[in-house]
Amino acid sequence: MRQPWRGGVLACTVLLLAACAGNPHRREPTFRASHSSLADEPARAPSGEAATANDVLFRALALVGTPYHWGGNTPESGFDCSGLVDYIYRHGADILLPHSSREMARMDGRKVKQMRDLVSGDLVFFDINGGISHVGVYVGKGRFVHAPNSGGTVRLDDIDGPYWRTHFAYGKRLLD
């Protein structure tokens, strides 16, 4: 006695094998609309503090995707910009920072005026409303980590993208 389901199984097997035997799909590279002009620069760490800068960078990158929360300063509560930077430096470099971008900007440290002179781990400050009102951590290759706005998440952005380039005030080197 012939079983009718055998023909269906055989047909499905042949179709699956034929599909697998075809050329693999080649994924085309995707390009962002804005590409940092600093992306091709070599990554640089502060002199003498490369290990600490790496700890800072790993902390910063690990927090990408954490929700924004005004006044927040932990991964559980979410972050605002200065809470994020303080958390990164407290846990990655054992440095306590004030909880305000303006106060951070007034701290001692080497001021870095040109984006091309930034090194991984530098704080980056932005003048958005006539004074320092935003801070992030430069990770290198033209990118920085920050907590940009209510309803958003911690993210990685091009520092020389259209918006951030026009608001960049300076960097501050705390690791050196």
Q: Which two tokens stand for residue 156?
A: 């990685």
Q: What's the rounded Cα separation, in Å, for the pair 7 and 67?
A: 54
Please give the domain boundaries of the chain with CATH numbers for all domains. Answer: 50-173 (3.90.1720.10)
3-class SS of residue 84: helix
0.85 surpassed by pTM: no
DSSP state of 106: T
Contact, 172 vs 122, CB < 8 A? Answer: yes
Chain centroid offset of residue 133 CA: 19
Name the phi and psi angles at 168, rounded to 5: -65, 125
User: Residue 14: helix, strand or coil by DSSP?
Assistant: helix
CA–CA gap between residue 157 and residue 160 (Å, rounded): 9
Rounded Cα distance between 146 and 167, Å, is 14
Supply the DSSP string of 16-56, one letter for each residue. HHHHHHSPPPPPPP---SS--TTTTSPP---TT-HHHHHHH
pLDDT, one tens digit for every residue, the chain (176 residues) = 545 444 443 333 333 333 333 333 223 333 344 467 777 776 777 777 889 999 999 999 999 999 999 999 999 999 999 999 999 999 999 999 998 999 999 999 999 999 999 999 999 999 998 999 999 999 999 999 999 987 899 999 999 999 999 999 999 999 98
